[in-house]
Structure 1
Amino acid sequence: MLYLHKLSIFIFLAFILIGCAHPVSPGGGPKDKQAPQVLKSNPENGSAHFTGNKFTIEFDEFISLENISEEGLISPPVDEQPDFKIKGKSLQVKFNDPLKPNTTYSVYFGDAIVDITEKNPLSNYTYIFSTGNFVDSLSLQGEVIDAFNLEPVEDAFVMLYKNNNDTLPFDSLPLTVRPYYLSKTDVNGRFVFHGLADEKYMLFALSDLNRNFIFDQPGEAVAFLDTMVVAQYFLAAVTDTVTVDSALSVTDSSQIVIDDTIPANDYNSEQYINYELYLFAHKDTVQKLLKAELLRPNTLRFSFSMPATSIRFKPLNFNLDSSWFQSEYSSEKDTVIWYLKNLPVDTLELLIFHNLDTLEQANIRLIPKKKLKGRKKQKVDTVKQYLEWNSNVKKRILALDQETEITFNQPIINYYTDSAWLAINEDTIYNPAFTFIDSLRRKIRIPIELSEESIYSIYFPDSAFIDWNGLHNEAIFIEIFTKSLREYGTFIFHLHPSVKQSYILQLLGEKEVVARQHFFETDTTIVYNYVDPKKYMLKLIFDNNNNGKWDAGNYLMKQQPEKVLYFKKEINVRANWEVEEDWAF
């Protein structure tokens, strides 16, 4: 009996001890925001004469690895991913590939090392070692920027190449071999290399879709410099952290973060070079049919990867000529719209040629599936079809410097507008004038001199317009209200380029939608009247080839993307105010 009593007490105490040993935060206590700290590593961080195939890092708390395959980088790259093994508060990294002799390696962990409870990351920790007699101690920094909108690019791979390949042209290395050193950009587009030798390098950035560290995919964006780069010695920042594993001037305790390794007041000084790489995607140089589809009844759309000026079509099951279809190109000429007359086939079979080569065969159903099913069931479609249209009048508002336009979805063959009218406040004009503004006769413009604070009504009766398939419009009624001049702002901009060439100035609204655009070459003053009161940005494009649009670069031809600038501040246009700015560039 006494034995059972003692056993019960022992079990009770054991449960208490187990409960006390469970590592939980005290109730109501502050949340742990401290990242794990490195206590020591074996061999020490920054060691030379590295002869083994593994190293171990010990921390001050239990840790785990999050997304190490995405976060981690080893430079120079190895063929096979190392094994990462966690045991308590230590991390062991074991290499599966033989290491190169007399080489400085850096193992970058990104944000992969986190504490086991709150997942606080030890950001940008790097372990450096050398298989030779000394550790290369130079560094190189910079940022990767989207060439079109100047936004920082996150998770781009940045690569350094040595000019030590005797069999391949130096410029071809990014297309054929893996880099010698590798880094990756952070959320601010920043990158840094440590442990570099005192040599000149080619600097290259890649949005690597297949993660093989080679530029071998058409959709991979790239950035490059026109000249070689050199590494520098970065002075370590002075910190209050006690250095434990101090084999390097940049230690475990400083975590090898570029903001920590360079004093803040010196970061933008000429002492440290900051390389800027402008990332762009190449234009597709292989013509492809991306899509062929029935856009709406009697309207086909062909989308190509390049301008379709050398594209030819050959119908296989029907003899198409200009009396059966008309074509229209998009502004970029990479999309072709076909407007068809009613054809005596349900599916149009086409061979599509690029110059003399057959590009593809397309089979396009001309009747929507639901209607085809109805035909098979011999049901009559009783829904009457009408000629569709839209106008540039949005929410019944038109700016005082705009003209009223109507666009029909098919070419117009006849019109009967004797009963149409235009009402201006209290006055009415019958059979108002209009003109077709395109060669297909799909778009009309109605010339109206708009005045402020006025009401305009436009009416075209049923069957006023007939398309070439015999469809007519339902009655068209458009109501227009014009605002007071006091509700608009005026923006005056004085531009002072230092070099005479072609430029494009864009006034950008929300989500960088182009509200106004202007082309110029020399000093000029641009006046934007009737501007809706809101905040705008100004974007400048250096239109080097004078084609009226921004162009990406080409690495193979060593062409950089066209330069882009943004004005230093937002333009706040207010109602009944005039804003004036100068920009010298």
Structure 2
Amino acid sequence: MRSSIPILLATIALFSCAGQRAPEGGPIDTDPPVVISTIPPNYTTRFSGRALTIEFSEYIDPRSLEGALFISPSLGPLTFDWSGREVEIEFNEDLRRNTTYVVTIGTDVADLNNKNKMAQAFTLAFTTGEDIDHGAIEGRVFTRLAGDSPQGVTIAAYRLNDIKPDTLDPRNTRPDYVTQTGKNGEFILRHLAFGSYRVIALRDEFKNLLYDPETDDYGIAGSDASLTPHDTLRSNVWMRLVREDTTALRLLKVTAQTRHVLRAEFSAPIVAQDLPPSWIRIADTVARRALSVLAVSPVFPQLKSVIVVTDSQEADMPYRLEVDSLRSQSGLGMNPLARSLVFSGSVTPDTLGPSVVSCSTGDSARGVELESPILIHFSVPVEKTGSEKAITVIDSGRISVPYRYRWISGASVELKPEAPLKSKVWHSIRIRPARIYNLHGKPGKDSLRVFRFQTIDRDLFSTIEGAVRDTGSIDVGGPIKVTAQQAAAKEAVEYTVRLEHAGAFILKDIPEGKYLLRAYRDRNGNDRFDPGRLFPYKPSERFTQYADTLKVRARWPLEGATMWLR
């Protein structure tokens, strides 16, 4: 009988040589891999080798390491040779003289069996000279969306000393130093040469160490960092990730609703204010006679269209509407190839005056905040003088409630109570359209529109109290906006308070739940956080975020939430 032992031994030998493979069986592995040894050891001086060896605590997915290993300065393409839990990495370029090399193993490295990722980035430093550089930059990255993980975000540092900083474009320039964030978004760049650095955060989707607009989230620090022999550490470099919109604004549709009213629709939200009539030019396409524009008002709340009031249009006459100077909320101008459209003049006369399109409270709403503003939107821009007298607010005892009026556009007015409303009380907003006129003197219908709402029960709410501190000496202009945002809601609601100077704050009437507490210095006063631009470079507005998620409970004021602007 022929023996099967040689066949069995050959089979075992074949599989044992097939490559790196983790042992099977045993309990599920949940431990992250770590580096347990390196050749050369950390902080080696006068190194002259052609390769380095790294040993991990467990078997590693080779592809994860090859995509998360960075050497600064670059040594070009690398060759990886695996043997069990060890890998030898061979250089294909000669080492420079008297140079510190920093090898960073990022947190995208995962074990082979269960894909557990490294909890923190690992750094190995060696030098071909006598001394190792010891500058460092540390900070933290906050994600764009509440549910996103802050781990594995690429931190890129660009040395500015030998270039003109204004010419640095991360879209086509790779960084001098690289690391990745840990589980909570924290990072540290070690062993940097002294000098000036621009530090950015990238969710580098293509793993190319370049910024790809509209694909990669990015974050920018509030200022560049400087490292000197007397100041070797720059700490608290905080960055908030955003997604850049690089698509220019486009005019999508123009509709003549009546002989005096047009509606123009755009591809993205625009600024929330009336536009100068000169930004809209209209002329017929036959004799090129201009049609006068009287007013241009955005349509709330989407802000993706405007109402244009004109002189009388000729029925069925073809007109061309052209938009000039308008920008989206992202700051992008009009696409030159999509800034004009042709429409036909309306045959519909203006038989109806202004009507109420919507009220921010809705009707029969409950839980309205005691100091919440009310927004009322009309169908067309109206004559503001006298219109405020057509809008009143009364409580359940039919007592008039004093409000301040502010026109945020020609077709939208904001009502803000002069004092906090009473808790758990029904109120009525009463609007008489017959006393409100459009720009051609036509009143609305002789009717009464009523919107009822009930204020919150204060016993079901609480407050968040704290302070915002600012010890900075530069970029200290502008008010400070403090926001509490619901941490888990699909459509997160924000509660905001404005501070003219750093100091104490109180956020009132906060429902029970978990909240992210943030603050930023509104440098340009536009009431929103500006994340800055990578190119042309513009630093982000300075901001801060409370370290922990806050749990708010009814009737239990939350105190002591102190934050420092970074």
Question: Which TM bucket (shorter chain)?
Answer: 0.5 to 0.7
- Larger CA Rg, structure 1 vs 2: 1
Query: In structure 2, what is the Cα distance between the partners aligned to 1:311 and 1:94?
Result: 65
Q: Give the one of 179, 182, 188 matched to 1:183.
A: 179
Change in Cα spacing, 1:142 to 1:7, as seen in structure 2 (3 Å) is same
Change in Cα spacing, 1:400 to 1:170, as seen in structure 2 (3 Å) is closer
- Identity across matched positions, percent: 17
User: Residues 305-327 of structure 1, C-alpha deviation per residue, up to 9 Å, x if partnerless?
Assistant: 9998797333354556456x631
Change in Cα spacing, 1:60 to 1:310, as seen in structure 2 (3 Å) is same
Q: Give the one of 488, 511, 515 matched to 2:495.
A: 515
CA drift of 1:546 comes to: 5.8
User: What corresponds to 2:297 in structure 1?
Assistant: 328
CA drift of 1:69 comes to: 5.1
Change in Cα spacing, 1:194 to 1:134, as seen in structure 2 (3 Å) is farther
SS of structure 2 residue aligned to 1:186? coil
- 8 Å Cα contact 1:149-1:564 kept in structure 2: no
Query: In structure 1, what is the Cα distance between the partners aligned to 2:183 and 2:114?
Result: 21
- 8 Å Cα contact 1:463-1:474 kept in structure 2: yes
Q: Give the one of 475, 480, 499 matched to 2:453.
A: 480
User: What corresponds to 1:314 in structure 2?
Assistant: 281
User: Quick check: 277-286 or 100-109, which moved more?
Assistant: 277-286
User: What corresponds to 1:66 in structure 2?
Assistant: 63
Aligned length: 505
Q: Give the one of 264, 286, 299 matched to 1:300.
A: 264
User: Residues 55-111 of structure 1, C-alpha deviation per residue, up to 9 Å, x if partnerless?
Assistant: 455668654313345412111024x43233435555343334444334333333324
Q: Give the one of 106, 109, 126 matched to 2:105.
A: 109
Query: In structure 2, what is the Cα distance between the partners aligned to 1:136 and 1:574?
Result: 52
User: Residues 364-389 of structure 1, C-alpha deviation per residue, up to 9 Å, x if partnerless?
Assistant: 4769xxxxxxxxxxxxxxxxxx9672
SS of structure 2 residue aligned to 1:290? coil
Q: Give the one of 69, 72, 78 matched to 1:75.
A: 72
- Superposed CA RMSD: 6.2
User: What corresponds to 1:3 in structure 2?
Assistant: none
User: What corresponds to 2:365 in structure 1?
Assistant: 396
CA drift of 1:562 comes to: 3.9
Residue 199 (structure 2) pairs with residue 205 (structure 1): yes
5+ residue gaps, structure 1, are 1-5, 233-269, 368-385
- 8 Å Cα contact 2:426-2:452 kept in structure 1: yes
User: What corresponds to 1:236 in structure 2?
Assistant: none
User: Quick check: 57-66 or 457-466, which moved more?
Assistant: 457-466
Query: In structure 2, what is the Cα distance between the partners aligned to 1:274 and 1:412?
Result: 55
Q: Give the one of 159, 162, 165 matched to 1:161.
A: 159
SS of structure 1 residue aligned to 2:279? strand
User: Quick check: 388-397 or 207-216, which moved more?
Assistant: 207-216
- 8 Å Cα contact 1:162-1:202 kept in structure 2: yes
User: What corresponds to 2:2 in structure 1?
Assistant: 7
Query: In structure 2, what is the Cα distance between the partners aligned to 1:50 and 1:222?
Result: 35
User: What corresponds to 1:339 in structure 2?
Assistant: 308
TM-score, scaled to structure 2 = 0.62
CA drift of 1:510 comes to: 1.5
5+ residue gaps, structure 2, are 327-332, 345-353
- 8 Å Cα contact 1:76-1:179 kept in structure 2: no
Query: In structure 2, what is the Cα distance between the partners aligned to 1:552 and 1:24?
Result: 44
User: What corresponds to 2:250 in structure 1?
Assistant: 291
Change in Cα spacing, 1:152 to 1:142, as seen in structure 2 (3 Å) is farther
Change in Cα spacing, 1:211 to 1:353, as seen in structure 2 (3 Å) is farther
SS of structure 2 residue aligned to 1:228? strand
- 8 Å Cα contact 1:106-1:128 kept in structure 2: yes
- 8 Å Cα contact 1:403-1:447 kept in structure 2: yes
TM-score, scaled to structure 1 = 0.61
Query: In structure 2, what is the Cα distance between the partners aligned to 1:172 and 1:444?
Result: 44
Query: In structure 2, what is the Cα distance between the partners aligned to 1:477 and 1:81?
Result: 71
Query: In structure 1, what is the Cα distance between the partners aligned to 2:533 and 2:133?
Result: 34
Query: In structure 1, what is the Cα distance between the partners aligned to 2:129 and 2:393?
Result: 90
- 8 Å Cα contact 1:158-1:185 kept in structure 2: no
Query: In structure 2, what is the Cα distance between the partners aligned to 1:489 and 1:444?
Result: 26
Change in Cα spacing, 1:92 to 1:571, as seen in structure 2 (3 Å) is closer
Query: In structure 2, what is the Cα distance between the partners aligned to 1:61 and 1:283?
Result: 36
User: What corresponds to 1:440 in structure 2?
Assistant: 410
Change in Cα spacing, 1:119 to 1:87, as seen in structure 2 (3 Å) is same
SS of structure 2 residue aligned to 1:337? strand
Change in Cα spacing, 1:230 to 1:422, as seen in structure 2 (3 Å) is closer
Query: In structure 1, what is the Cα distance between the partners aligned to 2:37 and 2:551?
Result: 55
Residue 530 (structure 2) pairs with residue 563 (structure 1): no
Query: In structure 2, what is the Cα distance between the partners aligned to 1:426 and 1:439?
Result: 32
